[in-house]
């Protein structure tokens, strides 16, 4: 029998020894929009956040990946990113990559409401509906060199319809998602008209619906998946018991006794109460987090940078801050192999020969030159050929087991012969604020540094593949190019130039995204403006309005409203 106990959850959760600081290739610390739509159906957009922290507390030496989804009537850009869901600080702390997509537009035979993720009904598979673009998006991000994402640390969360699709994705792809967090999500398989009333399906039916989503071909992976739900007791849109029904349904799927929680803990000094259920082996598998006083909303926490977002609560629990360490602490798929020792190399003009001592528990090894994997030997050596003379290369070696990699050993090796001029950086990209530009580019192997040029003039140097340029004029276009320095500090040719325009200063104090009638009801639109917006955009289309000293406008530059 599980023993009921109460304990306080501290603000800083101390994790297991598998959680440690690790040096990773830093990102921009900015939300960057994807260029692909990954359909069919096509995502309207997707934004990716790669932390800038070079020494985060990652698990098992690799980055985690979090897919997070908005609710009905929301968008990634309007309601999730830039502090709205409040993922950024947690992502930086734990080195986690976060991806926030926007739902495909319109309705289909299964998507009965435009602007909602397609959680409706049943009949999901691994190859239909919204699962298609989301899986392609996840696969694309995992495969990108330099992100160091561990395939055993992929998670999914979402609000409302996004919470419903969180359940679907975790059920269709239990081999991909090690953990899921459904926020105010309907019971899996409930009818659309039943979300505000008592749950009409049983935990056993929820479990069956879940397993059917992967064709009952991947159910073995549920043995190592973990589940979280978070909801407010004042939610009148999706009745709170839908969340507890989902927890019980996943308890059936996981084989976890849901009769009595093993732990009941106070979260953030009583802002929430979490019931934790363990499996027969004593592993935490299910977290049921109830937030008193919260309605239908994503719990972004009191420290959320962005306030007054529809269906986002910034007065209570910080769910990103809660769920991330819980996932990290309880992930059942982590492999925590130590780094190989005594990694050394010998070189010629064009080759490098590596060797190292074996790692106990490893069934093989992964060898990388920079971000490129060059080998997967079972022995403790690897040769690399076709290299440039007089060039320095960085190699990493990890032990592997169960399709996961352990901690990495690193060594720099310099080939013999004259030092060559290196290639110019590729992939120079920039994001802007009102008075600054953040540049990133693809690192050049062997680079001793980089020189950054703005409008043809040198403005600074960088030791890594990123640069921040500040003190700029707002609403102004700037051209940037970057060169590479070799070990003799000889400069390469300039990269392809990229033009970045600084943003117009924010003139508004509040923004709201809704359909035209909601704007009209909230007195953000006059009757004539409501009719004009409905005629031009459609009465169900969600669009933003901006509040400034002159009232409300649909123009981010605070010019007069016009449709």
Cite the active site residues: 160
Q: Is 505 helix (H, G, I), strand (E, B) or coil?
A: coil
What residues contact residue 404 under an 8 Å CB cut-off, 6+ apart? 60, 150, 151, 152, 333, 334, 335
* Beta carbons of 245 and 186 less than 8 angstroms apart: no
- The enclosing H or E element of 241 equals helix 241-254
What is the CB neighbour count within 10 angstroms for residue 351?
16
In terms of phi and psi (left: phi > 0; alpha: psi -120 to 50; beta: otherwise), the region of 537 is: alpha
Q: b/e for 82-107, b at 16 or more Cβ within 10 A? A: bbbbbbbbbbbbbbbbbbbbbbbeee
Please provide the DSSP assignment of 104-141 as one string: PSS--SS--STTS-S--SS---TTSTTHHHHHHHHHHH
The tokens for 382 are 């690897």
* Beta carbons of 181 and 155 less than 8 angstroms apart: yes
Helices 131-142 and 161-172 pack at an angle, to 10 degrees, of: 70
What is the CB neighbour count within 10 angstroms for residue 412?
10
Write down the H helix ranges in 317-396: 319-330
* Beta carbons of 172 and 131 less than 8 angstroms apart: yes
Q: In a 10 Å sphere around its CB, with 0-12 CB exposed, 13-18 middle and 19+ buried, how is residue 386 labelled?
A: exposed
Instruction: Report d(CA 260, CA 286) in Å as an integer.
Output: 12
Instruction: Report d(CA 522, CA 507) in Å as an integer.
Output: 21
Q: What are phi and psi of 458, to 5 degrees?
A: -65, 130
Instruction: Report d(CA 518, CA 343) in Å as an integer.
Output: 63
């Amino acid at each position: 029998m599980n023993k009921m106990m109460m304990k306080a959850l501290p603000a800083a959760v101390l994790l297991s020894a598998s959680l440690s600081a690790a040096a990773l290739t830093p990102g921009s610390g900015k939300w960057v929009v994807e260029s692909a739509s990954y359909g069919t159906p096509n995502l309207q957009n997707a934004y990716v956040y790669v932390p800038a922290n070079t020494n985060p507390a990652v698990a098992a030496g690799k980055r985690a990946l979090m897919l997070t989804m908005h609710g009905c009537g929301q968008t990634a850009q309007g309601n999730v990113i830039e502090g709205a869901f409040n993922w950024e600080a947690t992502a930086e702390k734990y080195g986690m990559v976060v991806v926030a997509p926007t739902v495909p537009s319109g309705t289909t035979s299964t998507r009965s409401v435009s602007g909602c993720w397609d959680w409706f009904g049943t009949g999901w598979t691994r190859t239909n509906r919204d699962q298609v673009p989301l899986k392609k998006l996840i696969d694309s991000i995992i495969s990108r060199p330099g992100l160091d994402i561990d395939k055993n640390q992929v998670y999914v969360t979402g609000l409302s319809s996004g919470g419903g699709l969180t359940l679907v994705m975790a059920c269709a792809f239990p081999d991909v998602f090690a953990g899921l967090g459904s926020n105010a999500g309907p019971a899996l398989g409930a009818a659309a008209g039943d979300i505000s009333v008592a749950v009409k399906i049983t935990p056993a039916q929820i479990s069956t619906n879940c397993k059917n989503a992967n064709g009952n071909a991947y159910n073995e992976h549920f043995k190592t998946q973990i589940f979280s739900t978070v909801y407010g007791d004042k939610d009148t849109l999706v009745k709170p018991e839908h969340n507890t029904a989902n927890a019980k349904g996943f308890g059936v799927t996981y084989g976890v006794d849901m009769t009595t929680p093993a732990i009941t803990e106070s979260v953030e000094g009583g802002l929430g109460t979490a019931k934790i259920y363990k499996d027969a082996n004593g592993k935490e598998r299910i977290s049921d987090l109830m937030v008193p006083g919260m309605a239908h909303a994503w719990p972004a926490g009191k420290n959320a940078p962005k306030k007054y977002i529809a269906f986002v609560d910034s007065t209570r629990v910080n769910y990103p801050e809660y769920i991330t360490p819980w996932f990290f602490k309880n992930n059942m798929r982590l492999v925590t192999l130590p780094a190989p020792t005594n990694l050394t190399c010998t070189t010629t003009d064009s080759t490098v020969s590596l060797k190292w001592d074996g790692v106990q528990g490893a069934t093989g090894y992964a060898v990388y030159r920079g971000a490129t994997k060059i080998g997967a030997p079972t022995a403790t050596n690897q040769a690399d050929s076709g290299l440039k003379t007089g060039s320095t290369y960085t190699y990493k070696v990890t032990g592997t087991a169960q399709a996961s990699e352990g901690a990495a050993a690193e060594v720099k090796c310099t080939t013999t012969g004259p030092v060559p001029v290196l290639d110019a950086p590729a992939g120079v990209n920039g994001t802007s604020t009102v008075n600054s530009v953040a540049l990133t580019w693809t690192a050049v192997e062997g680079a001793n540094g980089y020189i950054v040029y703005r409008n043809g003039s040198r403005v600074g140097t960088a030791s890594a593949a990123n640069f921040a340029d500040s003190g700029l004029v707002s609403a102004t276009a700037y051209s940037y190019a970057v060169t590479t320095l070799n070990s003799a500090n000889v400069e390469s040719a300039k990269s392809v130039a990229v033009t970045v325009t600084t943003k117009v200063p924010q003139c508004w104090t509040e923004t709201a995204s809704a359909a035209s009638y909601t704007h009209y009801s909230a007195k953000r639109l006059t009757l004539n403006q409501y009719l004009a917006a409905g005629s031009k955009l459609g009465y169900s289309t969600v669009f933003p309005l901006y509040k400034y000293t002159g009232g409300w406008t649909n123009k981010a530059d605070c010019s007069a409203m016009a449709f």
